[in-house]
Structure 1
Amino acid sequence: MDRPPARPNGDRIWSLDGDTMGTTWSVRLVAPSGLEQAAVEAAIQADLDAVIAVFSPWAHDSEIARFNAAPPGMWALSPALWSVLDASMNLADDTDGAVDPTLGALVDLWGFGPPGPRPDTDPLPSEAEIATALAVSGWQGLRLHRDARAAMQPGGLKLDFSGIAKGHAVDRVSDTLTALGCNSHLVEIGGEMRGTGVKPDAQPWWIGLEPPPGAMIPRSVAGLVDIAVATSGDWRRAFQFDGILYPHTLDGRTGRPVANGVASVTVFHASAMLADAWATALTVSGPEQGLALARAHGIAAQILTRTSEGVTEVLSPAFAAMLDDEA
């Protein structure tokens, strides 16, 4: 940062919170004079409702639910869905499919989607079930018509944005707050965060980075000023069977939950959506390939890996440079 950020145009800090997308949200903002809290709350809720209306597979009338149930054919997409799908497909190309927005059938199969968890008597899908879900999944099989902003439904393909939707919602709410004149704020949805501007005392928005449970790694603290952070962890939305942990992050190339030893990946990025997506991509890619991807694309990432000696930490060059700047 070339020069310190400007102090906010106010000294009142409001704290707002609620529920959305099966998780919680919170906002802290420096309120400029004349701004009504009710107007801010209404604007935030409108954004969250709009995200659910497009991206939630649990909402039967959402746009992706309609696309997922649609017969084969080319379907025009809303600007919001097109923007996120286009970004996801570009990342799929950049990461060799480590980000894949077409894994809804696999998400459902493994018990992480709207149908709910698998029964205790049959917790793991069979090889045949995985093969069937893989046959209707895969980003390379999704054709986009860029001029028309449309996508081809080949039949049975299910979009799923669980690895990017919360980050998209964070960005959307943050942009709305800025448009309302709240130039200093911290938005958090389900652990994904974006901080803009500074507090009245010129301090950044300080947040704690959650380490994996049981890891002998100190809890880190970061100051967010015009940057977002997202963490993908193997203990979030997971189940155990026969002593094996099955996290919700799926590898579309195998049709199975990731099992590469990665405990968590934390990514800093200007966009919360891209921080969210890259955290997923590096988790799926694994410790070595993930670090190589982060290095190649200039991604600031911390990768924590479970080994026989405990949890180990590696930092991408961009992440290490951020630490040097703060020193």
Structure 2
Amino acid sequence: MSIILAIESSCDDTSVAICNNGKITSNVIANQTIHQNYGGVVPELASRVHQKNIVPAIHQALQQAGVSKKEIDAVAFTRGPGLLGSLLVGVSFAKSFALALNIPLVSVNHMHAHILAHFIPGDKNPPEFPFLCLTVSGGHTQIVLIKDYFNMEIVGETLDDAAGEAFDKTAKLLNLPYPGGPLIDKHAKVGNSQAFQFAKPQIADLNFSFSGFKTSILYLLRKHVAANPNFVVENLNDICASVQYSIVQILMNKLETAALRFGIKQVAIAGGVSANSGLRNALEANHEKLGWQTFIPPFQYCTDNAGMIAIAGYYKFLEKDFVDQSVSPMARMEF
């Protein structure tokens, strides 16, 4: 029997969840709308808003789960990677909460948690070990071989920019408001994915690169806007569809190569970009084409959330994998 309180504060969302014996009974997310004024996350502002949001989020999570703070058996928290100021708020609160109640602290790697979100009980069974997971977010793009809950190996990763960043930067070029990734997905659904072609990265092995891809989008837009100032407005749906299709193809080609190399048929996606409909549809298509058994997390566990921190913390709690009060946040953290 265990009740875990989990805190996620790696970027701009303050999230708190309760895990009761492996089941997520609350998952509160307080979004920060202030960054919309700047077209992206401002780290200093993010940390300040975390300070305002964390106590109300704690109260709401406890209330929704129907538990009191005295019933909590351990506190799990995101140690990294992420924005240092944002992480500091969550880590400091977790340490204080645990110290006041004399309960254990559980440190969680943010990227591990995205993968372990697949083990949150739901309508579908979780993947079986070993399986492959494509983790895609604004800051990371990785293909990970998962052998056990915490025995994971990165077999491919981006050498520069992440796929999520490519979506965000494209949205900015198209003058779409922040966050732009979901808006690209929305416009792509009614656009022609073959309307425009972009440079395809020629990266060896299972690694990725999106810097050249982003540059090719910039050059294409500059060329057409110079000839027609209304080009973006008149072709927005087709541009979004073409960009999304290209990114998804880059990701899926590498994932297919990895699955073949390791002889694995159980394939999952995770991270914020796993909410993208194009990526989800492409993965499901391979269920039929390649005989994969595919796993896609529910939308609420795709983006940053404390539910995934809670389930990771639960498995660490079972192993009594605790940290002491000297623990500190890490902006960069080894996988």
The TM-score bracket by the shorter chain reads under 0.3
The one of the two structures with greater contact order (alpha-carbon pairs below 8 A, sep at least 6) is: 2
Structure in which a larger fraction of residues adopt strand:
1
Structure in which a larger fraction of residues adopt helix:
2
